[in-house]
Chain A
Amino acid sequence: AQKVTQAQTEISVVEKEDVTLDCVYETRDTTYYLFWYKQPPSGELVFLIRRNSFDEQNEISGRYSWNFQKSTSSFNFTITASQVVDSAVYFCALSEANNNDMRFGAGTRLTVKP
């Protein structure tokens, strides 16, 4: 069965600090997909990244970077030089190739203070 754990319930940082959001997943499939979504106070989930299980290369997009490590079943998300607008709930999710539902973690609420 697939499972996603986001152990950090809430994180608070001061603007310009770097912050890493942890995500640990469980799956028996060898082919799966990992995702991060952002849910700002407005409520709409915003897609950030999709990674397949065969691509362990880290990815950087502006101030965002993702570290995928199959050895530890982790897919961590780092925001560099955080900004107030980064304040949101961030969800990590897993989708197995043979299932079509996406299993979400419980989310991490990030607050960036000015």
Chain B
Amino acid sequence: DTGVSQNPRHKITKRGQNVTFRCDPISEHNRLYWYRQTLGQGPEFLTYFQNEAQLEKSRLLSDRFSAERPKGSFSTLEIQRTEQGDSAMYLCASSLIGYEQFFGPGTRLTVL
């Protein structure tokens, strides 16, 4: 399978816990994006990387959120001290510079 993969697919956690999600992009893609999607809405941009550099962050990305792409390959998105409002589908996408983004299956987070 050469598509974008995300792990885990589902995560249930209690409020206040930290969670970390992983995204493995299509191997030759140098850009990697994170989005959040809530029920009945379109995906909302969170942040993106070009190789290992994080080049843009949305104001939606509060201080409790951090993303890394240490070697320019896979990326992690960590949410600290989760809140119920963080419950959503977290989507990862990758692309070549200037080309369309291909999305992974998402990680569904439920915060109890």
Contacts and interface: CB of A to CB of B under 8 A. Distances in A.
- Asked if A pairs with B, the answer is yes
A69 B42 CA distance: 23
A47 B102 contact: yes
A43 B104 contact: no
Interface string A34-61: 0101000011111100100000000000
B43 A104 contact: yes
Contacts of B106: 43-44
Contact of A106 (B31, B40, B48, B91): B40
Interface string B64-96: 000000000000000000000000010101000
Contacts of B45: 101-103
Interface string A81-93: 0000000000101
Contacts of A45: 43, 91, 93, 103
B43 A101 contact: no
Contact of A35 (B58, B89, B100): B100
B110 interface: no
Interface residues of B, number: 23
B101 interface: yes
B55 A100 contact: yes
Contacts of B102: 47
Given A104-B43, A107-B42, A43 B105 contact: yes
Nearest to A35: B100
B47 to A, nearest CB: 9
Given A93-B42, A102-B45, A104-B44, A43 B89 contact: yes
Nearest to A52: B98
A58 to B, nearest CB: 19
Q: Interface centre among A4, A99, A102, A107, by most B CB within 10 Å?
A: A102
Given A91-B42, A101-B45, A106-B40, 7 more contacts: A37-B103, A43-B89, A45-B43, A101-B48, A102-B33, A103-B45, A106-B41
Interface of A: 4, 35, 37, 42-47, 50, 91, 93, 99-107
